[in-house]
Chains A and B, each alone.
Chain A
Amino acid sequence: MTHELTVRSRTGPAGPVIALAGELDHHTAPQVRALLPGLALRPGQQLVVDLARLTLCDSSGITVLIAARNLALAADATVVLTAVPDRVSRIIRTVGLEQVFHTHPTAQAAEAAWTPPSDSAPLLPPGR
């Protein structure tokens, strides 16, 4: 059995977009985990993980999605999953993460839904 995963990343208007194609499992998960720290993610940005062409995602794959979320949270950014295949969506529901990951039907929809942090809106609480 082959364990093939292709990872494409680009920078969209809202932040980095990584598209995973193939099987995300015990064998291929380290490949994506290794790539995550290299993503330039600024506060207020949105990390898009596009799963449109993901054919398999096991428990190790779930850890990759969680690592992506941890990365985004650490950078004061957000993470969204797009085009989640039915099977993956069922696993996410089983492990109770459907409330944790926001999803959009496509990467374009996710980028359209993103609100850029306005420069005038201070990151610090008002009144300072």
Chain B
Amino acid sequence: MMGKTDGGENNEGGPASEDHLDGQQAVFSALLEDSAEDLYEHAPCGYLSTLVDGRIAKINTTLLDWLGYGRDELVGRRTFSELLTVGGRLDHENHVAPLLRMQGGINGIALELKAADGSRLPVLVTSTVRTGSDGQPLLIRSTVLDARDRRAYETELLRAREESDRERERLKRLNETLQKTLLPPALANVPGLDVAAYYHIASSDEVGGDFYDLFPLAAGTWGFFLGDVCGKGAGAAALTSLARYTLRAAAVYDPDPAAVLTNLNTVLNHEYNGHDPRFCTVIFGLLAPEADEADEAGFRVTLASGGHPPALFMRADGRADYLPTPGGQLIGILPDAHITTTTIRLGPGDTLLLHTDGLTEAHSAQAGSRYGDEALLEFAGDLAPTTARDAVAAIRDLLDTFGAGVDDDTAVLALNVPRSTREEQK
């Protein structure tokens, strides 16, 4: 039973399969016409044979159609080089022809052909040199591929790249502009006080969050501040803007430095709380002209700190100290942030320097180490006594020596009471 069944299947299956194959071959033959000539003439690429002197000996219909020429206009009359654009001809003479001579072939060289109607056709040409039995070149056979799509693709790539370059440049300019709007165009002129400031941008890709200002308040007093907003980018810029305007407004409302920072804290705490908290650290100061017992001009400076690195006090006698404001808490996070204040007299020759931690957190020359508070204090000690302009210039030079080691923005603001002419004469 089993044997019979198997045999029956074989007998039935064999003739059916052969019929099927015969049928397929017939269909293929009809489709292909089996003509090498037809394949040559109507191939999906151009074929071209040229003599050693460049004259066209044979060309297929596909390429003739692309170029819009009749066969008798080209064969025996024109050289391949004459079909090229001026640029293509130079390329051909300088690169293609020598390669053909040296290597006996070229592979996928991009050239531009000029059609009968003057239009240009980007192509990729592959050629081989056919040699005779004596080894002498007889003719050059070339295939010519239509590269219009490829050229369009390359053009598109190039365009996209240019677009991306432009966008990057635009973003950079936008960031720089935004950064500038976050800083005062000019600091107020305070009679009897020299002021200098500097803002170091660590990266033009993202807006940093350092800020400072100096502005007049009522009755011959001035307010100033310098701070640092956490984070970078648009979110930080928005917070910086809010902090600046709130500080200016709060100082008009109640110029007591602790009150100013408390008000700022309340505003920021309402705005930013919960899952994505944001804060800033800031020193706010109030300047009031004050002559001392010896009738020496100067200012009483009241400083309040909300979690900010302490200000540097570089005295006329050459000493330098941090002005500690311990326990002052960052602004914007805690509903009842603790603010600490300190008061100093800024006399002739004294300089007060406020900075953000981009300076002390900079990577210094030794790998893995940060510049640090101690190094800055030492630097200030060497600098004192100094002036606002000299102090800021020195910090600027210091930042330059760190180079790429400064990975956060840095702001510095220096206030100095110039030595009186009377003192200089001493």
Do A and B bind? yes
* Interface residue B333 (Cβ < 8 Å from any Cβ of A): yes
* Interface residue A4 (Cβ < 8 Å from any Cβ of B): no
Q: Which residues of A contact B276 (CB under 8 A)?
A: 33, 63, 67
CA distance A71 to B407 in the complex (A): 30
Instruction: Pick from A14-22, A42-50, A89-97, A107-115 the stretch touching chain B.
Output: A89-97
* Interface residue A62 (Cβ < 8 Å from any Cβ of B): yes
CB < 8 Å neighbour of A100 from B275, B334, B361, B407: B334
Instruction: Pick from B5-13, B118-126, B290-298, B323-331 the stretch touching chain A.
Output: B323-331
Contact A97 B275 (CB under 8 A): no
Interface members, chain A 56-80 (any B CB < 8 Å): 58-60, 62-63, 66-67, 70-71
Q: B310 — nearest CB in chain A belongs to which residue?
A: A94
Q: Which residues of B contact A97 (CB under 8 A)?
A: 307, 329-330
Q: B306 — nearest CB in chain A belongs to which residue?
A: A96
Task: Write the nearest CB–CB distance from B202 to chain A, whole angstroms.
Answer: 11
Contact B330 A96 (CB under 8 A): yes
Q: B330 — nearest CB in chain A belongs to which residue?
A: A95
Interface members, chain B 332-388 (any A CB < 8 Å): 333-334, 337-338, 357, 361, 370
Interface string of B119-159 (1 = CB under 8 A from A): 00000000000000000000000000000000000000000
Task: Write the nearest CB–CB distance from A19 to chain B, whole angstroms.
Answer: 21
CB < 8 Å neighbour of B277 from A1, A70, A96: A70
CA distance A97 to B227 in the complex (A): 17
Task: Write the nearest CB–CB distance from B229 to chain A, whole angstroms.
Answer: 8
CA distance A37 to B230 in the complex (A): 21
Interface size on A, residues (CB 8 A): 22
* Interface residue A102 (Cβ < 8 Å from any Cβ of B): no
CA distance A66 to B281 in the complex (A): 14
Task: Write the nearest CB–CB distance from A128 to chain B, whole angstroms.
Answer: 28
Contact B278 A63 (CB under 8 A): yes
Q: Which residues of B contact A60 (CB under 8 A)?
A: 230-232
Contact B279 A94 (CB under 8 A): no
CB < 8 Å neighbour of A70 from B230, B233, B273: B273
Main SS of the interface on chain B?
loop
CA distance A71 to B306 in the complex (A): 23
CA distance A95 to B231 in the complex (A): 15
CA distance A91 to B408 in the complex (A): 15
* Interface residue B309 (Cβ < 8 Å from any Cβ of A): yes
Given contacts A1-B407, A60-B230, contact A95 B329 (CB under 8 A): yes
CA distance A94 to B277 in the complex (A): 18
CA distance A37 to B233 in the complex (A): 24
Task: Write the nearest CB–CB distance from A45 to chain B, whole angstroms.
Answer: 19
Contact B274 A96 (CB under 8 A): no
* Interface residue B228 (Cβ < 8 Å from any Cβ of A): yes
Given contacts A66-B279, A70-B273, A70-B277, contact A58 B307 (CB under 8 A): no
Task: Write the nearest CB–CB distance from B231 to chain A, whole angstroms.
Answer: 5
Chosen A-B contacts, 14 in total, with CB atoms closer than 8 Å, are A59-B228, A67-B277, A70-B274, A70-B275, A71-B275, A95-B281, A96-B306, A96-B330, A96-B337, A96-B338, A97-B307, A97-B329, A99-B327, A100-B329
Chain A residues engaging chain B, CB cutoff 8 angstroms: 1, 26, 29, 33, 36-37, 58-60, 62-63, 66-67, 70-71, 87, 94-97, 99-100
Chain B residues engaging chain A, CB cutoff 8 angstroms: 228-233, 273-279, 281, 306-309, 327-330, 333-334, 337-338, 357, 361, 370, 407-408
Across chains A and B, which 10 residue pairs bring their CB atoms closest together, nearest first?
A96-B329, A59-B230, A95-B307, A95-B330, A96-B307, A66-B277, A60-B231, A63-B277, A26-B232, A96-B328
